[in-house]
Amino acid sequence: MENLRRDLRHAQEELAQMRHELEERNRQLRELLRALPFPDSEQFCRNIVDLCHEFHLCTTRTTELDDRIKALRRSTDTCQDRLHDIAFTELSVEKLRVKIMSTTTEQNQQDSLEIQDQIRMAVSKVHSSLDSVLSAINQHSRDKPAGSLQEDETMEESPCEDPPVQQEPISQRP
């Protein structure tokens, strides 16, 4: 009888330890989901250099457009000739605007895809750790001797030290 009580206490301690590990893994998962990992340092450096190069090209083109607009304003050409130059300048302005927008959008999409991939990998690692802890808890509850279950019914009920852990669905986590 004493052996069964000792086994029960040992099993309860083990279960409490497993619950603690599960809570710790859940905390780590929440931290990983909140963290925004940086992309690979080499890729990050290349992205910065590319953006600086694009910025330089766009500012050079903007300066050239500014010079064209000033030349049109000071021009003594006929209205017909100026109208042709204005249409060409407006086309250059739109082309530059589209280039700036596409560069910005393209870079944001690339960075967000890299971050999403890194988050997916981290979440899958934590999920596998959680699965192993849960399977250990299930295995422990299956390995519990049948006699200890009957003993539980005859023993005084003792309140559980740790409340059961409730997992939040992944979609509702911050």
pLDDT per residue over 101-149, tens digit each? 776 676 666 667 676 677 777 767 766 776 677 677 767 767 765 554 4
**Residue 77 phi/psi, 5° resolution?**
-70, 170
Report yes or no: 22 and 133 within 8 Å, Cβ to Cβ: yes
Q: How far apart are CA 130 and CA 23, in angstroms?
A: 9
Q: Which residue, among 172, 173, 169, 129, has the nearest Cα to 33 in the 3D structure?
A: 173
Please give the Cα distance from 122 to 38 (Å, whole number): 13
What pLDDT is recorded for position 107? Answer: 63
Q: What sign for the dihedral angle of Cα 67, 73, 78, 82?
A: positive
What is the model's pTM?
A: 0.34
The mean predicted confidence, pLDDT, of the chain is 73
pLDDT score recorded for residue 127 = 66
Domain range for 139 is 2-172
> Rounded CA gap, 119 and 33, in Å?
7
SS3 for 168? coil
Tell me, what's the pLDDT at 74?
87
Question: What is the number of structural domains in the chain?
Answer: 1
Least confident of 68-72, 103-107, 163-167: 163-167
pLDDT at residue 87 tops 60: yes
Q: Which residue has the tokens 């990050």?
A: 44
**pLDDT at residue 97 is higher than 70:** yes
72 neighbors 85 (Cβ within 8 angstroms): yes
Q: pLDDT at position 167, please?
A: 47
Q: Which of 62, 58, 41 is nearest to 104 (CA)?
A: 58
Q: How far apart are CA 136 and CA 34, in angstroms?
A: 28
Whether 163 shows a pLDDT value over 50: the answer reads no
Q: Which range is least confidently modeled, 22-31, 84-93, 149-158?
A: 149-158
